[in-house]
Amino acid sequence: MSALPLIFLLLFVTAALISISAITILNVLTFPRVRPAALPENPPQITVLIPARNEAAVIAATVESLLGQDYPRLRVIVLDDNSDDQTGEIARAAAKGDRRLRILKGLPLLTGWLGKNWACHQLAQSALEEPGEDDDLLLFTDADVTWKPGALQAIAAMQRQRRADLLTVWSTQTTITWGERLVVPLMALVILGYLPAVLVHRTRWSAFAAANGQALLFRRAAYQAVGGHSATRAAIVEDITFARRIKTHGARLLMADGAGMIACRMYRNWRQVRDGYAKNIIAGYGSVIGLLLGSAFHWLIFLVPPILFVISLFTPLTPISPLWEGMLTLIGITLRALTAAATRQRVIDAIFMPLSALLMTRIAAQALYWQIRYGGPQWKGRTIRPAKQTG
């Protein structure tokens, strides 16, 4: 059998990995990071908005970390989204009577809305009922995100300095079980390896836009200008939709790394990791076809090289086997290690990158099963079926 097709395949993989490496190195060197900062002069009001559905295990730590911030103009609103585990009561107890916390009872889900988007819309409407300035800040965050002392002050200073209409922060991910360790840090690999931050921050192209729903800090006027959550009511990845809308409206998007000041443990076991990622993965790729093509691409760059390397140890496949396949395998592992180091993850876990690619394939299969069986992802007792949006 001719080695020519295999050589062309390896040339493609080589070009892809070199391109990803260049983007990764550029991002690691230039990606903004949240650092301790002095309080801005005349600091804006920050209203923290937390949708919470069955978050009894984590909501207390989040409320305590926010109310413990030394920020002079702070309000925290938690929406208890029809929980059946005392989420609201636990949040109220964690506040210990602090009047800066308000708890709302969520209304029944409306047709055409997704659950989280509807909860955030209710939170935003409550916040916007209060008088405010255009430069006041609305911070949408999740119930499992914790804030180190000074974190709110730091992001307020960064938003003011960079004149960001939307500042989105990539939380430092806490991972403990093997399911978490092998999958969750891949989010950093995607952002740092595939999305040049310089194009996100310095161009108006909405294709170069991303955001993290764990921390979305809007200027009040900008949130209203892009239509708020009414404009993203049916978007599964509403954070990315917001990022694109900000850019198409001529506003300024800024991405930053949480740098340990903003942290999150999203999941606690493999099943939660699988279902959590499967919930968003089709929407993240844009379509089922996009997911299939993306999965095939990641097999080519992260799985095929180590498989060919092992085979080449016994039967050389190309004129420079197994050196070529080994080099490509090493580049893939190094990319994973570099993004782990940049985002405070375990660098040693990079050696399992081929296994991580297999686990992502399992997650993709779960998403496809849900799509075929139920018409959409399953999450917290609801089937997520995106509807056509208006507005």
Distance separating alpha carbons of residues 260 and 225, to the nearest angstrom:
31
* CATH assignment of the domain containing 255: 3.90.550.10
Which range of residues forms the domain containing residue 361?
A: 4-27+274-383
SS3 170: strand
- Asked whether residue 352 carries a pLDDT value surpassing 90, the answer given is yes
Sequence-separated (6 or more) residues with CB below 8 Å from residue 319: 3
Last residue of a domain, one of 244, 267, 290: 267
Q: What is the mean pLDDT of the chain?
A: 94
Sheet of 74-80: strands edge to edge?
101-105, 74-80, 46-52, 137-141, 215-219, 166-170, 253-257
Single pTM value for the model: 0.92
Distance separating alpha carbons of residues 77 and 47, to the nearest angstrom:
7
Same domain, 348 and 247: no
Same domain, 112 and 135: yes
Cβ–Cβ under 8 Å, residues 108 and 119: no
Distance separating alpha carbons of residues 132 and 73, to the nearest angstrom:
12
Same domain, 160 and 305: no
Confidence label for 1 from pLDDT (cuts 50, 70 and 90):
very low
Q: Say which range, 19-23, 357-361, 374-378, has the weakest mean pLDDT.
A: 374-378
CA dihedral 379, 182, 357, 213 (to 10 degrees): 40
Cβ–Cβ under 8 Å, residues 55 and 106: no
Same domain, 327 and 226: no
In a domain, 362, yes or no: yes
Same domain, 249 and 283: no
Distance separating alpha carbons of residues 179 and 273, to the nearest angstrom:
7
Tally of structural domains, the chain: 2
Same domain, 246 and 316: no
Alpha carbon of 266 to those of 162, 190, 262: distances in Å? Answer: 28, 17, 13
Q: In which element (H, E) is residue 37 found?
A: none
- Asked whether residue 328 carries a pLDDT value surpassing 70, the answer given is yes
Nearest to 48 by CA among 34, 36, 63, 61: 63
In a domain, 179, yes or no: no
Confidence label for 391 from pLDDT (cuts 50, 70 and 90):
very low
Based on C-alpha coordinates, what's the Rg of the chain? 22
pLDDT at 374: 87
Same domain, 20 and 56: no
Amino acid letter for position 148: K
In a domain, 315, yes or no: yes
Same domain, 62 and 79: yes
Distance separating alpha carbons of residues 350 and 234, to the nearest angstrom:
36
